[in-house]
Each structure stands twice: as structure tokens, then as C-alpha cells.
Amino acid sequence: MILFLIITSVIFIILISWFNLLWDAKNCDIRGPLPLPLVGNGLDFVVKPTEFLNLLHRFQQRFGEAVRVHLFSSRYIILFHPKYIEGIVSHSEIITKGRSYSFLRAWLGDGLLTSTGAKWRSHRKFLTPAFHFNILQNFIPVFWKNEQILRDNLMTSADGDTDVNIFPLIALAALDNVTESIMGMSFNAQKDKESKYVKAISEVSSVAALRMRNPFIAEETVFNLSAYRKIQDNAINVLHAHTKKVIEIRREELKKANITSLAGSTDIGIKNKHAFLDLLLLAEIDGRKISDELIREEVDTFMFEGHDTTTSGISFTLYCISKHKDVQEKLFNEQKSIFSDDLYRDATYSELGQMKYLEQVIKESLRLYPSVPLIERMITRDVEVAGLKLKKNTSVIVDIFHMQRLEEFYIDPMEFRPERFESTVVRNPFSWLAFSAGPRNCIGQKFAILEMKVTLSGIIRHFELFPSKLEPELTSDLILRPENGLFVKLRPRKIH
């Protein structure tokens, strides 16, 4: 009798859950696959990492420009067209990040990436000056130093025949760039690949990526019972300890130098590449200094955002260049025209600004391979966007990857054509969102473009690139990555 009641109760709960899901789907004016009891469409998302983007593409082909899915009891709307996306990213009230970003909160806390509301607005305001060009141009020597180390590492396999997996090499260079630019010190990741810090970043990013792709591991109860929780906790302990140590060291340096305000820190900050950390240490909110914990959150946030995205951007741009000899020749000719006196010297800030074709190449690569292929927003109150009625507590996923491949905006969208981004070309401004748009656009996009130009300029001038037969299998979490590596062939240039 008791067993019968238990079974009956379980069946009743399942039926009620299914009824609620079906009712929610029926009363939504956005099409999507039929949800199953309890899990909704969760089983559809249990795919290999390399199949995730293909899954979204199948949804797009079957249901159109806006698609509804349910993961367990949570409602998601996936958007593929700028007419809907514009209303989301430019909306002054739709600024709360979606559930996927919560998987990073144990590491990043409530930094600029994960916070919302008044806290996000105040932090965005006082952090923006840290990315002024007067400060950014002082990071250029750091970028060139690390580009040379990267170039030396690439040279060891640059025989024209060896398939070189450039992604992990560029990841270490990008990490050196961001640690020295943001923290004011380098962990020498390119020379110390086994460092605990480098390993910890890889581990915590991998766990977050798994939770974004697997709706079951995403559930907090399941995750806490899994081995992944311990891996994450151990890695985060390492990362937090490093950041706190850097903060303590820099705070003591400022104290000894008797620097107590931003005005007094200008010279010391710029000369010693501490501008971002100094800003946090010396800034005030409502007349009070910022706590070390809040500083730690923002430093860790920019550590994450500043190295993963540029790694992806630089790597896929090199991949595209290797497959298009005509583009590579045009790039090299542009470099020769700028460096007519000495092809091998470092570029100045002004000369980097002259690299117009290189910038077109970067933008076209980011169109086909956006570093951040998906972004997510949480709807905090019922709204209507371009005719779509979005209910409170709905997560909206903006599919940048497939949107930037729409033939409506890009003729022959799978062709690599940098000329699409010549200044005379006019198109929907929301059809290219490599750095997002609206109030939550990427605060560090100028930093990223500058770093990408330095790295790519140095490699283009020193190497010829050739395509590999090994094609990347794409996977997506917060960042677009090659699951099986990203390979090119290189050969030192012979300058006549």
C-alpha cells in the first residue's frame, strides 16, 4: 500500500510538471520543440561539445528567428536575428546576465561581468577611465615583449611542414599580457607552463564550460555531489590567493610612496603599468575606499575576460589568414608600407592605428568566429521586444555565432572577405556583435583590438602561414574554442 502511494505520488508529480511545461509552451507565442516531463528539452542538449552549435543551428532552421526551449522548469528564448537582438542588448533595463554566468560567480564574485543593477552601473562608470587610450598605449611595450616570446616559441616548429596547434601558445601569451597589464606583474606563463596559476585558470574554466553545456551538471545539487565541485574549489583557492597577494603587495607600495588619491597616482601608475589596479586601490564609491574583496572580484573578472577572448580572437584570425594567401599578401604589404625603415621593429600606438586592413581582417574573422558566440540576459519583468512577448524570469540567449552568418546581411556569408568592413560599407549595426552592444558592451574592446594588432602584426612580419589539413571542431561555452586544437603551418619569412 505504501509503495503504491509512493509510485502514485511520483507519477502525479511528473504529470503535473509536464502539464505545467506544456501549458507554458502553449501560452508562449514563440515556437519550439515539445518539452518532456521534468527535464523539458534538457535531453536535446545532452550532446557532444562539438555538436552544441550545430544543435542551435538545427533549432534555427526548424523554428525560425526566435526559438523557445525549456531546460527543466526554466524557460529560454534563443534569438538569431538583429531585429530581436537589438531590442535586447540596447534595452537600458535588460542588463542582468543569465544563469550561465552564475557558474563563474564562485571565482569572479559580483564583478563587472556578473553583477547587475546599481552595483554594475557604478562599477562600469568608475572602471571606464582605466581603458582610456592614454593608459592603453602604455601597455604596448608589454604586448611587444610577450609577442616576441610567443614568436620564439612558434619558431621552434616553423619548418613549413609541421602542424602547429597555436591555441594553447597564444593562450599563454594572452595570459602574460593581461596579468602584467591588469595586475602590474607577470606570471611568465609562456616560460612556466606548469605554474599552479595557469593550471588553476584552465581547471576552473573547464568546469564552468561543462556546466554551461550539460543541463544536468548545471543543476546545483548534482554539481555539489560531483567530483567537479572539488576541482573547482581547489582551483579557485589558488586563483584567489594569487590575486589577494598582488593586491597586498601593490597596496603596500602605494603606502610607502605616500600615494593616497588617483591624482597622485597618475605618474607612478602609468610608468609601472599599474593603472587598472591603482584605479581600484585608490578609487572611492560614495566617499569610501573600495574593499579588498571587491577589488579582488574586479581583477579576477578582467583576468578571465581579458585573456580567453583575445586568445580565441587572435587564434582564429591566424587560422583564417593561413587559408587565404591573397589576404596574407595584402596584410604583409600593408606592414611593409608602415615599416619601410625597419620591418622588424616594434610598432608605435600611432602605427597600429594605421593598420586599417589588419583591422578589417580581425573584424571579418570575429564575424565568422566570434570569441563570445552566445550571450545571455535574464528578463526581470514582462516586456515586449520587436513583437515578442517575453515573460519575467525568462533567459534570453543571443546567438551571435549564427546571426553573423546570415545571408541577409552578408552575401556568401561563409566566404572570408575582409573588405566587408571597409568604412564605406553600410549595414545593420546589430548584425556584427563581436564585442556585444548597448549598455553592457565589452568595456575592454579597445584593449583587445590593440593586443590583437600587436600580436598579429609581429607574426605576419616574421612568418608565412600555410593551412593545415586538420580542421577545428568548434565548441562553445562562454568562449568559442577548438575542441581538437587549431592548427596552422609556419615558415620564417625570407625578406629580399
Q: Which three cell numbers stand for residue 116?
A: 547587475
- DSSP characters over 207-260: HHHHHHH-HHHHSHHHHHHSHHHHHHHHHHHHHHHHHHHHHHHHHHHHHHTT--
Torsion-angle region of residue 108: left (phi > 0), alpha (psi -120 to 50) or beta? alpha
Tell me which residue has cell 605554474.
195
Find out whether 320 is annotated in a ligand binding site. Answer: no
Give the span between the Cα atoms of 139 and 274, in whole angstroms: 10
Give the span between the Cα atoms of 347 and 336, in whole angstroms: 12
Which three-class secondary structure state does DSSP give residue 495?
A: coil
DSSP structure class, residue 182: I
Q: Where do the H-state alpha helices sit in 27-97? A: 52-63, 82-89
How many C-beta atoms lie closer than 10 Å to residue 55's C-beta? 13
278 to each of 8, 107, 230, 241, how far by Cα in Å? 63, 21, 33, 19
Q: Which three cell numbers stand for residue 147?
A: 609577442
CB-CB contact of 46 with 215 (8 Å): yes
Strands (E), 336-382: 374-378
Give the span between the Cα atoms of 480 and 368, in whole angstroms: 11
CB-CB contact of 449 with 314 (8 Å): no
Strands 74-79 and 395-399: parallel
Which three-class secondary structure state does DSSP give residue 395?
A: strand
Q: Which three cell numbers stand for residue 462?
A: 616574421
Q: Which residues are annotated as a binding site for heme?
A: 442
